[in-house]
Structure 1
Amino acid sequence: MKDNWKEVHPKSIFQATIASPLSDQEQAIVTLLYQPIIGAQALSLYLTLLSEVEESGMSESLFHADLITMMDISTKQIEAARKKLEGIGLLSTFVKHNSELGVQFLYRLNHPETAERFFKDEVLSLTLLNSVGQRKLDKLFNHFKPKFINLTGFEEVSARFKDVYLFKEEQMISQSKQLSQMEQSFNDPRPAQKISAVDESFDWTYFVQGIEKLGVKLPDNSDGFKEEVFVFHNLFGITEIDMIDFCSKSFDYYTSKIDVKEFERAVYRTYDPDKKQRTSEYQKNDAVDLSAEDQQTYRYNSLKMNGFSTQDIQMIMDSENNFPLNYLEALKSGRGGYTTPQERSLVKYLVSKSGLPNSVINVLINYVYNIQKQPTLKADYVNRIANEWAQSGIFSPEKAIEHVRELAKKGKEQKQTRQRYGQNNRPIRQETLPDWVENPVEEQKLSKEEQARLDKEIQDFLSKGGGN
């Protein structure tokens, strides 16, 4: 049966069906949550089949040629779109052999998961995350999450059902047959299969036997845990034996049940470990034993000789003398802003995962916040920059500044080229780049009194818990 699609041709007959109409909320879920995963063509196929379903719940018998004409795509494209719908659970395909008509297809359209069940499903949530990224996932989640009202201080005075409506318990017995029939009519005899990450290459039975031999039990939500095990297996290639080992270190000693959160942490510690930070690479004078103050003076003079402006040097030294969270707090506080919980988590993630020195992370923060004029740090954008800098071997603040300027120079040259050779010889509007990137402004060095006052202001801010 699985190969019958190969026999499909434009004259093959099909019908589409759905058990009950799609609600407006379900249509929004299909469009916003499923479309990023399945793609536009699969969504178009779903909606086209849905449009053919009549009030009876079934469409007329149609040729696939009609589908090809309506969607303006090929049979192979319909096949690919159909498989995407089947894989995500939005479509079930059935075939029947007819001696006169050949193979007949029945396309049963399935309702999407509710928003709650979608986001509680690890497989669907992770698949959506991989399709749209963390920022968009957060936005979609905020759109669909329930908006519960804080009822603190309120007392409920709602009337109960029996206070308002007449209800005779004895009717439940006399009408039990009819009630049972109505209940059964809503049960699908062949329900759509639940989305699953189950992989036949992982021996679940062997895994369960292994943990039971150790006296470890599955958690209460064993089905959800099973899905998570398979997700980790598919994601990292973890074997049954290694998975048993993780469980042996992640169970509650009182109940002997696997602690799911501890299990997750154990996996991530091994397969997504914290990365040891590189020390900042810069020129030091190791020939003589210099005090910390003299070493700073040597550092200042070396940067000056290498063409860095006073403004550059001040920023470099600030980046080397502050922890990233403190640095971000000081930047945002200076403009009357505040650091969000998401930004704090992102900065901590950069420190533990990127391998970049604190000074380079501070330059990155400065670049995104002051130069790109971003009011907050966005995870996708910041992680792309951090990845590129780490892979390019940028492990000192001065290298980070030089790298940004080189990119800005190339970008400017490309814009000038596009302006000269734009379509129809029309000039193309150029974006002006920040002065820090192109033309650093030479500043007068602060007097000792001004510098001391500035240092005291920064120290006062940090001593008040600015980095906490």
Structure 2
Amino acid sequence: MNRIGKILPVEGYYVVLKESLPIDYAKSLTHLYQPLIGIQAVTLYQTLLHEKDLQMNNTKPQTHHTLMNYLNLPLDEIYAARLKLEGIGMLKTYQKNNGTNNIYTYELQPLFSPKNFFKDPMLSQLLYHHIGMDKYNGLKQYFVQQSMDTYGESITASFLDVFQTIRPVSTIEVEDEEEPAGMVEHTDLSWIEHVLKQRMIPVQKVLTSYNRKLISQMMFLYDLETFEIEKSLLWALTDENYLHVDEFKAACHDVFQSKSKGNKVQLTEKDSFIDGNQTDRKKPETKEEQLIQHLETISPKQLLEDLSSGNQASEQDLRLIRDTMTQQGLPSPVMNVLIHYVLLQSNMKLSKAYLGKIASHWSRANLKTAKEAMVFAKQERNSFQKGKTSPNTYRTKQSREVIPDWFKEQKSKQRQMAAAQEEVLDEAKEQKEIEALLKQYSSNNK
């Protein structure tokens, strides 16, 4: 990855601290964060933290050349360390131009205390994979269990034991009350909600704010599909329909191991990383690219509702799609293209036999993205149409007439022109279908 030139030595920066750090933040940095992001990123964080105090009485920004001297590192490595801090949630970066150079503001984010670090599902699970079970259990026992067992059993009265309000407040679960902070946004869990309702499991009891964040993080950490998360979730539910956090994380890890073929979970930098500037990101230019982007991001349930003008998807269709995804292991974007393809080919009807036949074919083709599925579907349709229009090579009787060469050439040109015209008509029809779908999506999402 080319990072040279992302920051210039003469460009200045300010440092601000959003909130006060916990007293034992140094222990978190050394024992918990450093195994994940490395010594250079940790040193950069500490340097910026102490730079904040020096800048309190100085209105002029420091230059990055000074930072290079402090860290004894080239600027491209400092930039790489900065990205790691941003990615893991320890730093936010802002940029503005003063007419001559860019000026950056580095806003340091508060760290977890050691005890709260182990409450975050994403970070604690990543640490487990980086340092191994024995070292992880040793750190957890030292930082968490030590503080819990020191004073004996807690008999502290709760708010509800002491006070009463006008409107009674429902009992709050003490365990897992703190929502995990992290780098992953909430994902669309409407599919999971539908599964829980089908099984008569109270949705609000299972999909609490904490559990929603936990599910999103495990999907990201282990690169799991919706149907795989569904299996892990149902496995980890207790008899009282509470989600057992540790069992859920273990189930997600087991699913990952069964399909990863020995791959390890570890923080690595993306080769295709694009800087956070939105203007640098490639935007969809054609109608087809817009459709592919849409199919990559929505759930199959949302797609069905979009295609039915916002009406609720039927239980039968949802069950059919869920069973197909589970049996064939199709990712959600590929399943979206399959639904779109089958509906267009069968007059907007979902045929179980037709859907299952194509799904098994696409599963063997090992399609992973909506774009791959779209290209594959086009190739299949084109080969099918060519098979219908190609002349029959097997004849029962050979014609005895002598056909002039000019006549053969004329017929050949006519067939080529007809095929080209049919292809143009197909493309035009396809573009109209895509435009109609995009128009429908935009109107439903307003």
TM range (shorter): 0.3 to 0.5
TM-score, normalising length from structure 1?
0.42
Q: Which has the higher contact order (CA 8 A, sep 6+)?
A: 2
TM-score, normalising length from structure 2?
0.44
- Bigger Rg over Cα: 1
